[in-house]
């Protein structure tokens, strides 16, 4: 899967051939006594990371990865942990600590990151159901082990960049009772059947106890050796938490859809909202449909990543990987 639409490939190829188009992009080297570090791992074609700051609302590029016309950027900053074994391509950059940044990858919804001094992060993009799915983790080395903490992707924008581009839209018009009614009507009319929260689907995603016990029995047969009951008790807790989070994905995606659509609609005047038809309405509705699908996939992937962390810790604690290849590892995605 490509991070860029096909119409951009000739431009990318030309860029790669011109000496003025840097393989490393426009992002400058950060000079700081205790910078944060970020590794961007790309498992899709033509992947690029853009980074926006209050000082540069037009954004920085960091170079293209996995492009057929050019070699990957060689950006490296000496991070304390190795890249994933399955990484197709990756780059590393330093970040100014405690400076809010806005990151965009592969057309997925952009997100904010305010890096801590000396912290290390890994940002990964994979292809799931032909969509780019992004995950962000803070990574630490503790007692010789690599510990990963999944971070939520929060879309807050940059106040200093408001109105400078479609990425940072203008300040919404003030709400009035009439405008709220019109905006709610537009959003409600745009919600299709597959987007609505289905109570039956929520129940289905919460696997019943007998199904979980059946899964545990199968797991025990795969391992061929006995673990204490404490292991299986934690195993159950991890999957119950995962099932609960997965059952909430649809509602969370729909809530974000309503919030984002409402924010964009509040930029239009009353006359436009009242009519709400034509090319502008059709384009925005299609964009928001794509936003919902991307958000839904992203939230499901994040829930799975949050399952990987405690399961990998559990299998590491009980030495499962020393005895079997059927164990949970950090690079599962």
pLDDT for residue 21: 47
Reported as type and span, the H/E element at residue 287 is: helix 279-317
CA angle 305, 309, 310 (to 5 degrees): 125
Strand 120-128 versus strand 36-42 pairing type: parallel
Whose CA is closest to 23, among 67, 53, 58, 57?
67
Residue-level pLDDT at 205: 66
How far apart CA 137 and CA 121 sit, in angstroms, is 6
Domain boundaries, the chain: 6-161, 177-323
User: Which structure tokens are listed for 58?
Assistant: 């037009």
- Residue for token pair 């939520």: 152
* Chain segment 272-290, per-residue pLDDT in tens: 999 999 998 999 999 999 8
Identify the band that residue 20 occupies on the pLDDT scale cut at 50, 70 and 90: very low
Closest C-alpha among 99, 110, 118, 126 to residue 40:
126
What would the pLDDT profile of 95-131 be if each residue is shown by its tens digit?
Answer: 999 999 999 998 777 899 999 999 999 999 998 877 8
Q: Is 52 helix (H, G, I), strand (E, B) or coil?
A: strand
């Amino acid at each position: 899967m490509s991070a860029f639409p096909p119409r951009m490939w000739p431009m990318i190829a030309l860029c790669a051939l011109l000496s003025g188009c840097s393989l490393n992009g426009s992002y400058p080297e950060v000079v700081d006594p205790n910078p944060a570090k970020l590794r961007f791992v790309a498992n899709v074609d033509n992947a690029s990371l853009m980074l926006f700051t209050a000082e540069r609302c037009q954004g920085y590029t960091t170079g293209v990865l996995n492009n057929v016309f050019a070699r990957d950027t060689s950006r490296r900053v000496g991070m304390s942990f190795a890249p994933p074994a399955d990484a197709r391509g990756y780059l590393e950059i330093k970040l100014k600590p405690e400076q809010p940044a806005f990151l965009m990858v592969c057309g997925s919804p952009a997100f904010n990151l305010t890096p801590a001094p000396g912290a290390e992060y890994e940002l990964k993009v994979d292809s799931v159901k032909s969509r780019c799915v992004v995950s962000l983790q803070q990574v630490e080395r503790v007692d010789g082990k690599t510990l990963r903490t999944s971070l939520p992707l929060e879309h807050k924008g940059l106040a200093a960049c408001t109105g400078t581009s479609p990425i940072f839209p203008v300040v919404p018009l003030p709400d009035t009772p009439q405008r709220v009614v019109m905006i709610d009507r537009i959003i409600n009319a745009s919600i299709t059947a597959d987007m609505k929260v289905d109570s039956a689907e929520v129940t289905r995603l919460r696997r019943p106890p007998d199904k979980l016990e059946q899964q545990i029995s199968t797991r025990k047969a795969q391992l061929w050796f006995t673990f204490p009951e404490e292991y299986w008790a934690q195993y159950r807790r991890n999957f119950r938490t995962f099932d609960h989070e997965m059952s909430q994905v649809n509602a969370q995606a729909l809530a974000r859809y309503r919030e984002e659509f409402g924010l964009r609609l509040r930029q239009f005047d009353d006359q436009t909202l009242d009519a709400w038809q034509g090319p502008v309405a059709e384009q925005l509705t299609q964009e928001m449909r794509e936003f919902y699908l991307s958000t839904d996939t992203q939230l499901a992937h994040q829930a799975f990543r949050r399952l990987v962390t405690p399961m990998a810790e559990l299998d590491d604690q009980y030495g499962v990987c020393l005895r079997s290849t059927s164990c949970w590892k950090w690079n599962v995605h």
